[in-house]
Amino acid sequence: MNVVPTDKAKRSLKILLILFIFFAAVIIIGSRFHDRGVRTGEVRGLDFALADLEGKRFRLSDHRGKPVLLIFSTTWCAYCRSEIPRFKNIYFRYAPLGLVIVNVNIQETRAKVARFAERYDLPYRVVLDEDGGVSMAYDILGVPSVILISPEGRILCRYCRYTEEMLDNLFKKKG
């Protein structure tokens, strides 16, 4: 006896196959991001070196012993611009205590970023991730993205919601 699948059965099999492929892709891609070493906690921040607006090199590992706040952003991002007053407040409050704040600008020209930094009077260092490699290494999916790195080089938080609270706790422990 031959069983011929109906159109409804064929359609159901196609849907199941598509779902299987989709979920397999999600698992594979997710595991690639998970294994990159940019999670919080025990993982060290990935070292990098980028030029700042003056052409001087910023290397993350040169700041071991101090907490570092990385702000990944772009000039075209409206939300990034709206967060500048908050980032300035963080800078003026915590930089005197030893916090290093670096704005990592993603894939824009030095001239454009320099005009932006001047217009908004950014007091913290701005570096250029011209090819987007550092942003990719840190799995930056949107801007602004904030990553706080401990004095020992561990990632304390990614996409930090409560940055000021974490910094208060960090500097209370030091003091």
**89 assigned to some structural domain:** yes
Q: Residue 45 — very low, low, confident or very high, per pLDDT cuts 50/70/90?
A: confident
For the chain, what is the domain count? 2
Judgement on whether residues 26 and 108 belong to the same structural domain of the protein: no
Mean pLDDT of 41-53: 86
Helix (H, G, I), strand (E, B), or coil: what is residue 96? helix
Of 121 and 27, which is predicted with more confidence?
121
Average pLDDT across the chain, whole number? 87
What predicted TM-score, i.e. pTM, was given to this entire model?
0.76
C-alpha dihedral (16, 19, 21, 23), degrees to nearest 10: -140
Q: Are 69 and 114 in the same domain?
A: yes
Helix (H) / strand (E) element for 174: namely helix 163-174
Whether 29 and 57 share a structural domain: no
**Domain of 13?**
1-35
User: Does any domain span residue 133?
Assistant: yes
